[in-house]
Homo-oligomer: A and B are copies of this chain.
Amino acid sequence: MSRDVFIAGAAMTPFGRHDTRSMQDLAQAAVLGALADADQNRIQAFYNANVYGGMVLGQVLMRDLGITGPALYNVENACASGATAVHLACQALRLGLYDTVLVWGVEQLTRLGGGTIPLQRNDYKTELYAAQGMTLPTVYAMRGSRYLHERGETAEILARIAVKNRAHGARNPYAQQRKEVTVEEVLNSRPVAEPLTLLQCCPSQVDGAAALVLTTVKPASARRPVRVLGSAVQSGHLEAGCDDILDAEITARTARLAYEEAGIGPQDVGVVELHDAFTIAELLYYEALGLCGKGGSADMLRRGDTALGGRVPVNPSGGLLAKGHPLGATGVAQMVEITWQLQGRAEGRQVDGARIGLTQCTGGGIAGVDHAASSVHILGV
């Protein structure tokens, strides 16, 4: 009963400091890019994903393009905002409410003056966490320490994630940080929250936008049509509880729903863009996404399975660590990257032969421990 959803167009701005560009400039560049890429512009609804931009932001951003009239939905779900917007778009398309829609995500974090605490409101726990120094870096640092302890690893294994993703990012013109680093450089960079050092944390002083045209009309272009095979959103806790903070339960649950809808399993996935906001996150998500068994993430990384040229390259774009993490844009940009990968358009960082790709975002508020959002998408050609 439900229709196929195709990605007809994909575009993004480079992520980075865009001091001379407004949010309008960024969002419009991505939207016009996706429209040009799709070679069509009969859009029936628009979805804007953003965290910090303010009221009716989507309408404000598109106004000067003359895009005004159709339904426009402003969607927020922290780090999963962009993916949640795509999920809602897929719902409407599958229902047949629309034939073609456009989803974009945008964020301009460099103008906020750094830090997100002042903009998180109305929550006694957020204030409590902040007063205790419990912010996202410290929450992930605790998971990192536990991982090293439980698995008998040293901080080198964390650093290897940064080395891999930053090597990928160096090949991606859309990435903010395009410099290869060594394990030593990672470990010797400024400590943030032990065991995490600066180069193990994604840059948050970053601006950018990404956009997708989604349609139920099979694209006529010569490129291989990319289909959305699975799309899931869930909420919950970042980890299952104090019993096991290495159990990324919300992510595993969301992934199960997406695999189920797609009718595939983790072994079928050929390329992944996942939410490596901190190095430890990527290791935990290998396991949560089923890319390896529980406890297998360190070996998987060491074998090179997840590097470009490996069995299932993870974050060929450089990931959040190198590409940057402009919140609302991130989930959409992950799908732009996978679309390009599946169509053989990822110049300089192309994964060979992948037919199925997966994207994953899991985030929350300032600490996010108990109010997280997660989204997993599976795309295929």
Contacts and interface: CB of A to CB of B under 8 A. Distances in A.
Interface of A: 1-2, 22-24, 46, 51-60, 63, 68-78, 84, 87-88, 91-92, 94-97, 108, 116, 119-126, 232-237, 253, 363-366, 368, 370-373
Given A88-B88, A95-B95, A68 B236 contact: yes
Given A2-B95, A91-B91, A95-B94, A121 B69 contact: no
A233 B370 contact: no
Given A2-B96, A59-B372, A60-B125, 15 more contacts: A22-B124, A53-B122, A54-B365, A56-B77, A56-B78, A56-B371, A56-B373, A60-B122, A60-B371, A68-B371, A70-B234, A71-B234, A73-B84, A74-B75, A91-B97
A253 B371 CA distance: 38
A54 B76 CA distance: 9
B364 A56 contact: yes
Nearest to A123: B60
Contacts of A68: 235-237, 370-371
Contacts of A51: 55
Contacts of A59: 235, 364-365, 371-373
Contact of A365 (B56, B69, B97, B364): B56
Given A91-B92, A121-B53, A236-B68, A75 B78 contact: no
A87 B53 CA distance: 23
A66 B365 CA distance: 17
A48 to B, nearest CB: 9
A57 B363 CA distance: 13
Contacts of A71: 87, 232-235
A32 to B, nearest CB: 18
Nearest to A237: B68
B69 A235 contact: yes
Contacts of A363: 56
Given A74-B76, A365-B55, A372-B59, A69 B122 contact: no
Nearest to A22: B122
Nearest to A369: B63
A271 to B, nearest CB: 25
A29 B365 CA distance: 23
A145 to B, nearest CB: 25
A59 B79 CA distance: 13
Contacts of A74: 75-77
A115 B265 CA distance: 52
